Amino acid sequence: MNDNELLMGAKSGDRRNLSKLLSRIESGKFTFQKDSNVWALGVTGPPGVGKSTLIGKLIEQWTNAGEKVAVLAVDPSSPVSGGAILGDRLRMSNSDIGESVFVRSLATRNYPGGIIPKISDMINLFSYCGWSRIIIETVGSGQSEIGIIAFADRILLVDGPDRGDIIQAEKAGIMEMADIIVVNKSDLPRAKVTADLIIESLSLDSRDLVPVLLTSALENKGINDLVSCLDSLIPDKSRKNLRIRQILLSHWNSLAISNPRFEKIILDASDGIMSISESISSLMELLHEEAKS
């Protein structure tokens, strides 16, 4: 079956065809740049704050309202196989039921930024095939999380009742790009204190105040308010330059890493055959050759 046949099948609701196209996109054998009313939410934040559980609650709310929800769960690459570890998919297994939910785990494949550039094609494909809510969950690893802004037009930062994590987020610049900040696990002590500290920190910024919400995915509290806030959110168009910057950096890194001669350059530099500046020159030549081909 060719790409056009797979695409027609995926658009008509065939999940097997959709899975095949996603695999082809991930392997670089298929591109899909048709942009059609994309609604993409990036969910980021430190590990252990309950992002996957919270996403499960969002899925329940949206599917109950008649939306079709696709989730791209970005997992750390397995050091053995290079594939996704699938942890997020397992934690969301209760939500991956029925024709209105599609969960796909993706390996980071050690890309800088923790997000593979091909995600943009996957988002466009989901949107084209009628998926009205597309969620990207990142691995939650500090500064690399900034890369999510290249692919999602809405950014949700999730944290727990621990001010230390928020300080790290500030250092990484994640709070600058968040459209909504959630302190999850509000059933635990210090959640309200943490939310107040975030609001105080944001008040020092010159931009409009970002909504800071309290949720408890475990106790299903604050979820309705969060969904309402997300649905009514108008994406911040003032960050277009930052978005384009991250897109260009993401694709630049991808070109380098995917080139089969990249590892040879690393080995030559490691063995002292080439200096770092010579390695950079060789890499530039590779990228120039690839751009012309």
Task: Show pLDDT as tens, one digit a residue, over the chain (293 residues).
Answer: 899 999 999 999 999 999 999 999 988 788 887 766 678 999 988 878 888 899 999 999 999 999 999 999 886 544 333 443 344 444 454 444 578 999 988 876 555 555 667 888 899 999 999 999 999 988 665 444 566 777 788 889 888 887 555 555 554 566 777 889 999 999 888 888 888 888 887 777 655 678 999 999 889 999 999 999 999 998 777 666 776 777 777 667 777 777 778 888 888 888 899 899 988 888 888 777 766 66
Name the CA radius of gyration of the chain, rounded.
20
Q: What is each CA distance from 221 to 37, 141, 232, 278, in whole angstroms?
A: 30, 26, 19, 57
Write down the pLDDT at residue 216: 93
**Class of the domain covering 31-238:** alpha beta
Three state DSSP letters for the chain:
CCHHHHHHHHHCCCHHHHHHHHHHHHCCCCCCCCCCCCCEEEEECCCCCCHHHHHHHHHHHHHHCCCCEEEEEEECECCCCCCECCHHHHHCCCCCCCCCEEEEEEECCCCCCCCCCCHHHHHHHHHHCCCCEEEEECCCCHHHHHHHHHCCCEEEEEECCCHHHHHHHHHHCHHHHCCEEEECCCCCCCHHHHHHHHHHHHCCCCCCCCCEEECECCCCECHHHHHHHHHHCCCCHHHHHHHHHHHHHHHHHHHHHHCCCHHHHHHHHHCCCCCHHHHHHHHHHHHHHHHHC
Write down the pLDDT at residue 119: 84
What does the domain layout of the chain look like in residue ranges? 31-238, 259-292
pTM over 0.85: no
Q: What is each CA distance from 220 to 53, 60, 173, 226, 249, in whole angstroms?
A: 10, 11, 29, 11, 38
The CB-based long-range contact list for 284-293 (8 Å cut-off, 24+ gap) reads 286/256, 286/259, 286/261, 286/262, 287/252, 287/255, 287/256, 287/259, 290/255, 290/259, 291/255
Write down the pLDDT at residue 1: 81
